[in-house]
Amino acid sequence: MKPRIEWEPKLVGFLCKWCSYAGADLAGTSRKKYPANIRIIKVPCSGRVDPLFILKALRLGFDGVVVSGCHPGDCHYQTGNYRARRRVAITKRFLEYLGVEPQRIQASWVSASEAGKFAEVVTEVTTGLKEVGPNQLFSEGRQEDGTKTTERS
Amino acid sequence: MEQKLRSEVKALLEQGKVDWIIGFEPGSLKFTTTPLITKDKNDAERLVINPFIVNNLANFLTEIMGRVGIVAKGCDSRSIVSLIQDNKVAREDVVILGVPCTGVIDLSKVEKLVGKDRDELNDIAREGDKVTIKVEGKKKGFPSTQVLFNHCLACELPTPKEYDILLGEPSPPIANLAAQERIEKLRQVAPGQRWAFWEKELSRCIRCYACRNVCPACFCQRCFVEETEPQWVLPAPRWQDNLIFQIVRNIHVAGRCTDCGECERACPVNIPLRSLTREMYDIVGELFQFKAGMDKDALPLMTHYEEKEAEDFFR
Amino acid sequence: MSGATNISPSRFLAQDNVYLPHIAVIERIIEETPGIRTFHFNFKDKKLGEEFTFKSGQFGEYSVFGIGEAPFCISSSPTRRDHLEFTAQRVGRVTNALHRLGVGAKIGFRGPYGNSFPLGYLQGKNLVFVGGGIGLAPLRSLIWNVIDNRDKYKNIALVYGARSPADLCFKYDLDAWGKNKTIKSVTTVDRGDASWTGKVGVVPKILEEVAPSAKNAVAIVCGPPIMIRFTFPVLTKLEFTPEQMLTTLEKRMKCGIGKCGRCNIGNIYVCRDGPVFTYAQIKSFVSSEY
Amino acid sequence: MTNSKKVNKKDVGKLLSQWSQEFAIFVPSIGSGVATMARWEGKDTSFLDWYRNTVIPPKANFLPPMEEMFSFRKDREGYNIELPPNGGKQLIFGIRPCDARALTTIDANFKDLYQDPYYLPKRSRAVLVGVGCTNPYDSCFCTSLGISPADSNDVDLMLTDIGDEFLVEEVTDKGKKLTAKTSGLKEATKDDETRAKEIKEISYNKVTRKINAEGIVDKLLAGFDDQDYWEKVAAKCISCGICTLLCPTCYCFDINDELVRQQGTRFRSLDSCAFPVYTKMPMENPRASKWKRVRQKVCHKFGFFPMNFNVIACTGCGRCIRLCPVNWDITQILNSLPVRV
């Protein structure tokens, strides 16, 4: 048997270019430690994030998604983050109803100066994902009892 | 009601107040009606109102040019209002012929009750709270709550609030909790099993898009499933892609869906789609106290916001 | 079926399966205009490359593996066989992917499909080529074919146009044909620029100016639908009969062999019975479909 | 001595068990939530009681809604292309005459010019055991298209309900070969055959919906450019794919690729002319308007297909009428075609 490498969750972060992305940048330049599990996609505004992106990320096998934007009131485009908030809220609730673990859909407000908060968010989300385990929502091979057996590649 | 409808329609067309009429005429199969879309005042005589007027005619509003007179049940009127909110239809371009609705008969429930297909039944008659079904020459009576569509049992607006002409006395909501039973049951199951449930249900989806195309809230010129750059989902019936299609469709129509139940009725492979749409309807109601199509002056759900709302899960 | 002429099934099936592509290698890429590229390719299997035959006007289905398939005509001439060519404009999923490929990339090819230009019918005749934009690609295969058998044909004229000088495709061919004394070649643009010294005007208009004689002539037209629609009346005015006008049509062709159903005009499948038709044939199809 | 056999209805399970040694048996089932031809579980024959016809037509067994054409993996040589394994032999039990005729009809398309390497092998390996309709739907109109609800023309074995038993007709050599190695079949009597004939006639007369298929090609071509007519009949259509995807004679398909971690698949899936994207090209769409798509659907089935293959691509199974969300009824359209003088 091959030696098992400990499973590490992979998550996508949709970060608003004005706040959260700058925050992540600052976390990097100020050498804040946070898990390397996140893949960052820069978006012009958290309001750009169509729930479809979240679903597509889950479909591609990512274990979780973080949508992050400016704090309420700070949106570069005035209202983008408020709209994102409504969208993420219904997406999260709806996916939970369908049976997706709540830890997989996460959201945060991170400003350009909050490098520490960004590191915290990524750490917390990664820890949460480790608890729920790999995303097998869209994998084939369901057992009679409803569990899935497919190993991740 | 039918007589009033016909004379009103005739008058509307004669006086040139509308260019088109959308209503119901008898269908070609037993116990069916079919949409009648016409400019001809002589067609007014074909219009009917009966317990089988299933379609949500608001669906046709976005594709017909000109002023339209439209026959609308409570749920249809909500879809029309929702389209007005979204600026897809101008209020002054529609003449709403409101039908106080007492519920529409779900033929698949009838089939289950009597164990016969719809074309084998002799007659279905509705009188108040009772429905009499004649099969093989024998009459059987049922309380109407047993044969109405679930979305009718859960209906909050049987009589249109927004109308130009009301065709009868307003009828009260039925408010029958049995309507929610299926969703409640689903909510009780463990998350993994719930996902498995949807996996199984959606695996028979044939991607005919009837659910999307009967939906008045789905008015996009081009749906994301048809995009090729990027290709979000495969344009082929595989459960993963079917499920993403349904999930995203529901999210996209959140705040527009009036729980008219057309998607589930149209589905040729019996996917319980209303268990998705109704849940979204409830989520929107709970989080934002928003009910689609109740107030034509309200802003569409996704275009506005409150300073403080739905934030508990934000870090 | 459908009374179509000169079609015969492709003999070059991979593993006897008509849907399986052969592997081909892109050998050279020419940037025709900012959105149009010509790809030179050869089969990976040398032997197949030697056996492979096609006729001017036929097309192939090209795969970018993992993205999908799209049909393009073979834009090189069967008389010049050190490689094959096709030309693609960046407009959709497959063509975007094609334009991302570099020299050495492997693509899939199956074909050749469809009918072809009726060489027998064209021989001994005066030929008038009318092309617009990327529509020169299928004509070009025939033009080189004709040039390489020059003695079999009478006078050759070409009217080719594009929106602007930058949108002209196959400039190297246009140069070569311009120098060729046996060809009357006219190039035009809808809108010129500072350095443009040639004709300015849309193709149908310039064609009317050039006014080729219809006597013993055949006009071969290919370009955007709007150009084709305006060119046929001009040719008619010049006394070309519908039988004397040829064109190649474009539809969405997924299978390339008349099975998948989407490229029909009436009972004619463009991929199977076409893509080359006379105007007489087109007029005989149910008219509002065209 | 007759040419037919018979079997007691109670023994159908025994027949299927024998056949399942050689074939993958498909029978009508609602196990998945919708009536379709599904793998027989090896016991239950109760479908004989409830089943009138499946919602999903048996064409799905030969032209699946989604089917792998080949897979490919990038290697040093380019791409390594692999064909999927050949499917086994299918035995479809209970196919209705209309659906069987539909298969014969679309065979023509898949044989034309090139032999389709996916559909045709499945067809030639399969055995069709038809069961005649005794209770056609009110939406059925097969008799107008030269099919009887108990027609045996397009199956290998034909079963007719004669009370407690089925009369078994051996229609093809394939059918004969199958019965020859099947135990439990009894010789049918002359009376059985007479009874079966009567039953067939009764069934035939139960189909009341009619179209006038005579001269239909000419009528369609004559009215082809009548935009007003087509716009009128198309008005209530919602451009969904129910009538085409669930039609037993609709064969149009789409081809797509998928790439997951270097492993690619090309597959084909059913497509529908009702969808605007079906014919969409980057620059234009020849059938962008709804009336043109509706016209294409009607004219393909009743005009172009018969022009090319001499047979109407409709067998009157009535699915499109039964399942349409807006009750768009093709028989009404065909019976009201504009007449040009």
**For residue C9, what pLDDT is reported?**
87
Q: In chain C, what residues touch B231 (CB-CB under 8 Å)?
A: 93
User: Does CATH place domain A11-132 in 3.40.50?
Assistant: yes
Query: Nearest CA to D127 among D79, D176, D69, D198?
Result: D176
Q: In chain B, what residues touch D321 (CB-CB under 8 Å)?
A: 28-29
pLDDT in tens, B2-55: 999 999 999 999 999 999 999 999 999 999 999 999 999 999 999 999 999 999
* Partner-chain contact C17 D109, CB within 8 Å: no
User: What string of pLDDT tens digits covers the 341 residues of chain D?
Assistant: 568 999 999 999 999 999 999 999 999 999 999 999 999 988 889 999 889 999 999 999 999 999 999 999 998 878 999 999 988 899 999 999 999 999 999 999 999 999 999 999 999 999 999 999 999 999 999 999 999 999 899 999 999 999 999 999 999 999 999 999 999 899 999 999 999 999 999 999 999 999 998 889 999 988 888 899 999 999 999 999 999 999 999 999 999 999 988 899 999 999 999 999 999 988 888 899 999 999 999 999 999 999 999 999 999 999 999 999 999 999 999 998 887 65
**For residue C58, what pLDDT is reported?**
95
CB-closest option in D34, D36, D326 to B35: D326
Whether chain C lies against chain B with 3 or more Cβ pairs closer than 8 A is: yes
pLDDT in tens, B111-168: 999 999 999 999 999 998 899 999 999 999 999 999 999 999 999 999 999 999 999 9
**For residue C274, what pLDDT is reported?**
83
Most B CBs within 10 A among A75, A93, A110, A145, hence the mutation to make, goes to A93
**For residue D257, what pLDDT is reported?**
94
* Partner-chain contact C259 D70, CB within 8 Å: no
Strand order in the sheet with B130-135: B121-127, B130-135, B138-143
Q: What Cα–Cα distance (Å) separates residue D256 from each residue in C64, C255, D269, D272, D277?
A: 11, 11, 8, 15, 14
Asked, as a colleague might, if the bond just before D248 is cis with ω within 30 of 0, I would say no
CA A58/CA C112 separation, integer angstroms: 41
Closest residue, chain B, to A92 (C-alpha) = B313
pLDDT in tens, B208-257: 999 999 999 999 989 999 998 889 999 999 999 999 999 999 999 999 99
Whether chain C lies against chain A with 3 or more Cβ pairs closer than 8 A is: no
User: C222: which strand partners?
Assistant: C131
Closest residue, chain C, to D258 (C-alpha) = C66
Closest residue, chain D, to C14 (C-alpha) = D81
CA C33 to chain centroid, in Å, comes to 17
pLDDT in tens, C159-204: 999 999 999 999 999 999 999 999 999 999 999 888 888 899 999 9
Average pLDDT over residues B263-271: 96
Closest residue, chain B, to A94 (C-alpha) = B280
CA C133/CA C163 separation, integer angstroms: 7
Q: Which of residues 181-200 of B touch A (CB under 8 A)?
A: 186-187, 191-199
Distance from CA of D331 to the nearest CA of C (A): 21
What are chain C's domains? 22-113 (2.40.30.10), 119-248 (3.40.50.80)
Q: Are A134 and D242 in contact (CB under 8 A)?
A: no
**For residue D153, what pLDDT is reported?**
92
**For residue D337, what pLDDT is reported?**
87
Query: Nearest CA to B71 among B92, B91, B46, B53?
Result: B53
Closest residue, chain A, to B244 (C-alpha) = A55
pLDDT in tens, A118-143: 999 999 999 999 999 999 999 887 65
Q: Mean of the per-residue pLDDT values for chain C? A: 91
* Partner-chain contact D255 C68, CB within 8 Å: yes
User: Where is D75: in which H helix or E strand?
Assistant: strand D66-75
Residue A149: pLDDT band with limits 50, 70, 90: low
**For residue B186, what pLDDT is reported?**
85
* Partner-chain contact A52 B195, CB within 8 Å: no
Query: Nearest CA to C114 among C149, C72, C152?
Result: C72
CA C270/CA C251 separation, integer angstroms: 7
List the domain boundaries for chain A. Answer: 11-132
Give the neighbours of chain C: at least 3 Cβ pairs within 8 Å. Answer: B, D
Q: How crowded is residue B223: how many other Cβ atoms within 10 Å of its Cβ?
A: 17
**For residue C5, what pLDDT is reported?**
53
Residue C244 has pLDDT above 70, yes or no: yes
Residue A146: pLDDT band with limits 50, 70, 90: low
* Partner-chain contact D81 C44, CB within 8 Å: no
- In order, the DSSP letters of chain B are -HHHHHHHHHHHHHTTS-SEEEEEEE-SSTT-EEEEEES-GGGGGG----TT----GGGGGGG--S-EEEEE-HHHHHHHHHHHHTTSS-GGGEEEEE------B-HHHHHHHHTS-GGGEEEEEEETTEEEEEETTEEEEEEGGGTB-HHHHT-S-SS-SS-SEE-S--------GGGGHHHHHHHHS-HHHHHHHHHHHHTT-----HHHHT-TT---SS-GGG--TT--S-SS--HHHHHHHHHHHHHHTTTT-----HHHHH-TT---THHHHHHHHHHHHHHH---TTS-TTSPPGGG---SS-S-TTB-
Residue B200 has pLDDT above 70, yes or no: yes
Q: In chain B, what residues touch D36 (CB-CB under 8 Å)?
A: 204
Residue C259 has pLDDT above 80, yes or no: yes
**For residue B183, what pLDDT is reported?**
82
Classify residue C289 by its DSSP letter: G
CB-closest option in D79, D117, D281 to C252: D281
Residue A4 has pLDDT above 80, yes or no: no
Handedness of CA D92, D98, D100, D103 (dihedral sign): negative
**For residue C288, what pLDDT is reported?**
55
* Residue A11: half-sphere exposure toward Cβ, Cα within 13 Å: 31
Residues sharing a CB contact under 8 Å with residue C203, sequence separation 6 or more, in sequence order: C130, C131, C132, C159, C160, C161, C188, C223, C227, C230, C231
Distance from CA of D54 to the nearest CA of C (A): 25
Contact C197/D at CB under 8 A:
no
* Partner-chain contact B192 A147, CB within 8 Å: yes
Chain position carrying tokens 């004229």? C157
Residue C4: pLDDT band with limits 50, 70, 90: very low
Query: Nearest CA to C118 among C254, C16, C218, C251?
Result: C218
Q: Report which of residues D87 and C58 the model is more confident about.
A: C58
**For residue B308, what pLDDT is reported?**
86
Closest residue, chain D, to B218 (C-alpha) = D238
CA B134/CA D230 separation, integer angstroms: 38
**For residue C3, what pLDDT is reported?**
42
